[in-house]
Amino acid sequence: MSNSDTPKSFLSRNIIFVAVLIAIVLLALSARVLLGTFVRPAPAPTSTPVPTFTTVPPPVVTITDIRVVAELTTVEYQAVAEIQGERVPDDFRQYLGIKEQVLLLAYGEVKAGFDLSRLSEEDLWTDGTRVQLHLPPPEVLSTSIDYDRTHAVFHRGTLLMSRDIDWEGEIFETAQDSIRQGAIEAGILEDAARYGQLYYENFLRSVGFTEVVVVVN
């Protein structure tokens, strides 16, 4: 302490020094508190659960599943045919102009589809979710006469000729053939092929296949 420093001035300088030191400490503490308020530590990362996948078995179909019934009908046609018939006796009556005539209006039904009994193991191929099926050619499965609606539009007979059951049967056979042929000419086989292809495409997709090819031979 120099001669010029009095005890009172020395004490004042010490008090100022301590006050400055306390102010610095308080500022440091305040800054730390404020920093902790506005700057929060980032949360620790959490692990994302990995989803587990269950293996789905590929769809299974056999030729037996396809060939559930012996026949698959895909199209039914209602048809009508006009049939003319004439019967002449094979004896002397033919020289007398004696004969029987009939004009028949025949109604019937024709069904077309596939004979599935013709399918073999080679007609079905599968690979995972892919499948290919070969169908046999469509065909007429049945032709029937609606006897309730079928009637004779014109009939000319004679008492000199007795009824001939065989001849009448031939008339109905001709009507049946005409109805069948009319349905074929109207495109019943093409329709059967198209609807059969669509039917099995939907069936195979319904059991789980995603790539489906159905071929009609």
Residue 111, pLDDT > 70, answer: yes
Distance of CA 37 to the CA centre of its chain: 64
| Two structure tokens written together for 165 | 């059951």
Neighbours of 155 (CB within 10 A): 12
Distance of CA 20 to the CA centre of its chain: 90
Give residue-wise pLDDT tens across range 118-166.
999 999 999 999 999 999 999 999 999 999 999 999 888 887 778 788 8
Q: Residue 35: what pLDDT?
A: 47
Give residue-wise pLDDT tens across range 162-187.
878 888 899 999 999 999 999 999 99
Give the burial string for 176-189 (b: 16+ CB within 10 Å, else e).
Answer: bebbbebbbeeebb
pLDDT band at 99 (very low <50, low <70, confident <90, very high): confident
Neighbours of 138 (CB within 10 A): 25
Give residue-wise pLDDT tens across range 13-52.
656 655 656 656 566 555 554 445 444 555 566 666 655 5
Residue 8, pLDDT > 60, answer: no
Instruction: Please name the residues in contact with 116: beta carbons below 8 A apart, sequence gap of 6 or more.
Output: 66, 67, 68, 69, 70, 71, 72, 136
Give residue-wise pLDDT tens across range 193-209.
999 999 999 999 999 99
- Characterize the bridge pairing of strands 130-135 and 211-216: parallel
Looking at residue 212, the DSSP 8-state letter turns out to be: E
Enumerate the β-bridge partners of residue 78.
Answer: 109
Residues 64 and 122: beta-carbon distance below 8 Å: no
Instruction: Please name the residues in contact with 215: beta carbons below 8 A apart, sequence gap of 6 or more.
Output: 132, 133, 134, 135
Q: Residue 195: what pLDDT?
A: 95
Q: Distance between CA atoms of 152 and 94, rounded to whole angstroms?
A: 24
| Two structure tokens written together for 140 | 């007429």
